[in-house]
Structure 1
Amino acid sequence: MNNRKLLAFIPLALFLLLGLFLWRGLSIDPTELPSELADKKRPIPAFELPSLTEPSRLLTPDDLKGEVALLNVWATWCPTCKEEHGFLNRLAQDENVTIYGINYKDEPGKAREWLRRYLNPYQKVVLDQDGSLGLDMGVYGAPETYVLDPEGRVRYRHVGAVDAEVWKTLKQVMAQVEQESRS
């Protein structure tokens, strides 16, 4: 086969290779991002940051220990966070779920107004104004929700809004973590 005929197959080969990459990319679920913390049952990274709701108080990982809980990363600039906020309020009120919050890269005044206007589902809210805690946790963006065990270790991570469908999975994970912590 001469070189001209061989060159004619290069575009076809490139097209097939590109198609393979695109097919692989479309088959990945973006809500199932790997989590170094959850995969290894690691504790939340060390931090000492102010509370959004009690600005004179500093919070640490010890403040997020004691029971199986959700840890929700949120911000007022995040439209999806507003979408999930009502559902988080229902979980906290109707199902008595303990939820901690990390207010991520946000303005404290706007965040406090948000909680006043839309109600506060959080037991405690860490103010991560510069995003350092989020960075240490591997946060891609808001919202993200983690399941914490009583020792404050991350056991599961969900990227995206929490709704009734996602809650089914989170509830199962929390029940499993609860059962393991009793054993």
Structure 2
Amino acid sequence: MITESYINVGNFRVRYLESGDGETTLIIVPPPNTSANRFMNTIRETTAAGFKVIHVDLSSAPANMSKVNKVAALSLIASTINSKRTILAGIGQGGGIALDYVIQSRHNALSGIVLISTPRVINYIDKLPKLNMPMLLIYSINDPNAPVEEANAVKSVIKNARLTLINGDWLSEINKVTQLMVSWALEITKPKTT
């Protein structure tokens, strides 16, 4: 079952969706102009894999909401989570919002971060090594807005980073992207055996 909630950031109201009750929470931050309806299968599949899912629906906020307020909304939503582990997944421009949140909050409680075709990820390259957490980069081979070369540069400075390439754009490949993200999240949250 997917529940709908809202938080207020200044004069803005932002919707978020929750599903599942797993020990690991996956927070999905899509591009601000993309409706949550496009992610219902992703939410269901991720929940079915045993995760609690929180989908930040920035498309519910007015288009003139600043990036600072979008990061604040993510911060407020993340502060409500009571999980053993949390993984943050930023998609497209949502990846920039996720990175700003992680860097500004110095969020050490995150188990990992997923960036899916995040444009201008290269702008964060000096700050990323300080995050010291596993990272999955899922990029399209032919996306001019989020070049693979930038993802490769990021991968080269993060010791726990993995780059996976897809043929189409993330939206047309959303089922494959979801499977890659879930598989990686299960791998990094698997209990260590000694």
* Short-chain TM bin: 0.3 to 0.5
Taking structure 2 as the reference length, the TM-score comes to 0.34
Q: Could you say which structure has the greater relative contact order, defined with CA pairs below 8 angstroms and 6 or more residues apart?
A: 1
Taking structure 1 as the reference length, the TM-score comes to 0.36
Query: Is the radius of gyration larger for structure 1 or structure 2?
Result: 1
